Structure 1
Amino acid sequence: MASIRRRGDRWQCRVTRHGFPPETKSFATKAEAETWARSIEVAMDRGTHQNRASVERTSLADILARYAEEVSPGKKGAKDEAIRLNALRANKLGKYALANLSAAAVAKFRDERLRAVSAATVLRDLALLSSVLNHARREWGFPVENAVQSIRKPRQPQGRERVLSDDEEARLLTASAPVGRRSPWLQPIIILALETAMRRGELLALRWEHVSLDKRTALLPDTKNGTRRLVPLSPRAIDTLRHLPRSIDGSVFPISAPALHLRFKLACKRAGIDELRLHDLRHTATTRLSEKLPNLAELSAVTGHKSLQMLKRYYHPNAERLADRLAAAVA
């Protein structure tokens, strides 16, 4: 039952019911307290009541911090996710109590972000926020609704279709040659990326103990998809690896991701190549490998794509070459 009493200039309501923890809340008027008490009692009678105290005193920033500490470290992209979580915490959205995190508040966050960053970035922010809210509800027991599921999402942008041409490849390799103070690792990484379709993280994690030049394979024990993959090495890839200096720590490419990003950007500038990212080399490699491995199962085994839909995002055939193959088939 409910008990209501005056405390100073507020009305305190306390609802007690067998089988439920006591619920207490203060209101400006006695009528508000009575209305709230009735709603709590009805919810208890129906078995739908949930204690709201935890979501009223816990902010979104609080659970973002907890997620960063307890959940993110076990993920593949922990470092990148930590940066995104910190940005969400710093945003004014993080100041909302979970009880007040409405769809309107998240929609406003979406619109403000869209004015500053791309739709793809906003989609990643919303996906992470949705994961955090779902985890808070399922694993930590917070009675919070996932407001992200109620809002309109930005349209998924068209996937990148940037493929390196033969001329651009020649210029890029010249610009990345280890001359003077240039890194000895950049050009070999570019060649390996084009020959194997390995991801940046896979290349940087590659170790000599997992490379067999005799068997012409490179083992990736822990990929982005969480499975190991044995990558076949082309003659060009093997020749590149044979001429690499050996690092004392066993890494094939002892260079950090930020340093690689900077050196690749500078090499593109020297080569006069615009709008090229290191990940575009994976698109290029997948497209080239598809001409040598028309069997999709074999191609996906090399590239590590788990679905045909994802594989298609990385396959960008040349229309003229397809026309030549059609003409050859008719002849």
Structure 2
Amino acid sequence: MATIKKRTATDGTTRYTVEVRLKGYPAQTATFKRLTDARKWTQDTESAIRDGRHFKTVESKKHTFGDLVDRYIKDVLPTKPKQAVRQKMQLEWWKEKMGVYLLADITPALIVQYRDELSSGMTYRGTQRSPATVVRYMAALSHAFTIAMKEWQWVEDTPTRKVTNPKESKGRVRFLDDDDRAKLLTACKESSNAWLYPCVILALSTGMRQAELMGLKWPDVNLKDSFLILHETKNGDRRRVPLSGLALALLQEHAKIRRLDTQLLFPGTIHPDKPMILRGAFATALDAAGITDFRWHDLRHCTASYLAMNGASLAEIAEILGHKTLAMVKRYAHLSDGHVSDVVASMNAKIFQ
């Protein structure tokens, strides 16, 4: 229920003080010069409290966006160790732009303004940010607002919900043909870094990401049954990776000379508890092989492409690479057209004899 009390101020003007009391909620008060304003506030406040909106609105006027980012970095990011460094950088970019604003004043239009600024900005390498990068920044912002809405009750809704993400490209498909692959492997074998060749072979054979490969530990490798287990993957799931052929043989040889001061398969020379860094050796091998526009991650594209060209289904490729959905592997669909044609021809031959 609500009560409105009329009183005369020291300057002789009339004031109306409203107190709204609803069972289970703290009392809310406000003072107005006009009775009509007092009655309207009473109706709006009672309705907002019953709908669960009022206290979120109050909180959104007490906290700035900077407060939200600081609390998210302190309380939430420690639970996401794999994304913590990247998302902290992304959220601090947003904080630099909007940190002084109250949460109540963060609108979709304001986010669009800075989304467009982000899109037109440059990376530290001097190249324009890609749509995919902007999407990642937006995702970090969106999750921070979602936590503020659902768990902290700081906002009534997430303003990012009404902001459109830029359209991402179809995805890069860069793989080596037989000649370039042979040249690269020769250059890797001749590298001064003895571990470059087995690491590239493992990457091509299994499709493991660089972080997954370089983070491998001996307790997770089963050479007897020819598989290894990845405990830390990008999508958060454990993954069983089969080993065969040359990759298995190289790991068996590598196991004979494993270091005893670390569990890592490929430890650094100075810090055995940290993985070996192959960036320089790989770049040198690419130059020696005459291969341009190729990154380590493209070895993973090579694996997927070779699988597709050898008849693997998209579901099989997704399972091998550790993707939860087929969306990420559809970029390789055109490489398996010949296999699909064979399947269709076989079906037709059987049903239309």
Q: TM-score, normalised by structure 2?
A: 0.76
1:4-43 paired onto structure 2 within 5 Å: 15-19=18-22, 20-23=25-28, 30=33, 35=37, 37-43=38-44
Q: Structure 2 counterpart of 1:126, which letter?
A: M
Displacement of 1:82 in angstroms is 2.6
Decide whether the 8 Å contact of 1:14 with 1:23 is kept in 2: no
Matched residues in 1 for 2:8 and 2:287: separation?
A: 73
**CA separation of 1:257/1:50 partners in 2, compared to 1, >3 Å: closer, same or farther?**
farther
Matched residues in 2 for 1:323 and 1:298: separation?
A: 14
Decide whether the 8 Å contact of 1:14 with 1:22 is kept in 2: no
Match of residue 295, structure 2, among 273, 277, 281: 277
- When structure 1 is superposed on structure 2, of 108-117 and 201-210 the one drifting more is 201-210
Match of residue 54, structure 2, among 50, 56, 59: 50
Decide whether the 8 Å contact of 1:220 with 1:231 is kept in 2: yes
Matched residues in 1 for 2:73 and 2:46: separation?
A: 38
Q: Structure 1 counterpart of 2:148, which letter?
A: A
Partner of 1:235: 245
Q: Structure 2 counterpart of 1:217, which letter?
A: F
Decide whether the 8 Å contact of 1:130 with 1:148 is kept in 2: yes
Displacement of 1:114 in angstroms is 0.9
Matched residues in 1 for 2:291 and 2:29: separation?
A: 65
1:1-331 paired onto structure 2 within 5 Å: 1=3, 15-19=18-22, 20-23=25-28, 30=33, 35=37, 37-46=38-47, 47-48=50-51, 49-51=53-55, 52-75=57-80, 76-89=82-95, 91-116=96-121, 117-177=129-189, 179-180=191-192, 183-244=193-254, 245-247=257-259, 248-255=261-268, 259-261=277-279, 263-292=281-310, 294-295=312-313, 297-314=315-332, 317=335
Decide whether the 8 Å contact of 1:282 with 1:314 is kept in 2: no
Matched residues in 2 for 1:7 and 1:310: separation?
A: 71
Q: Structure 1 counterpart of 2:308, which letter?
A: S
Decide whether the 8 Å contact of 2:18 with 2:30 is kept in 1: no
Q: Structure 1 counterpart of 2:248, which letter?
A: I
1:262-294: CA deviations, max 9, x gaps? Answer: 543454344432222222211110221234563
Matched residues in 2 for 1:135 and 1:5: separation?
A: 45
Q: How many residues align?
A: 320
CA RMSD, 1 decimal: 3.6
**Percent of counterpart pairs with the same letter?**
33
Q: Structure 2 counterpart of 1:185, which letter?
A: W
Secondary structure of 1:230's match?
A: strand
Q: Structure 1 counterpart of 2:243, which letter?
A: L
Displacement of 1:155 in angstroms is 1.4
Displacement of 1:246 in angstroms is 1.7
**CA separation of 1:292/1:232 partners in 2, compared to 1, >3 Å: closer, same or farther?**
farther
Displacement of 1:133 in angstroms is 0.5
Q: Which structure is larger by alpha-carbon Rg, 1 or 2? A: 2
Q: Structure 2 counterpart of 1:280, which letter?
A: D
Q: Which ranges in structure 1 are unaligned for 5 or more consecutive residues? A: none
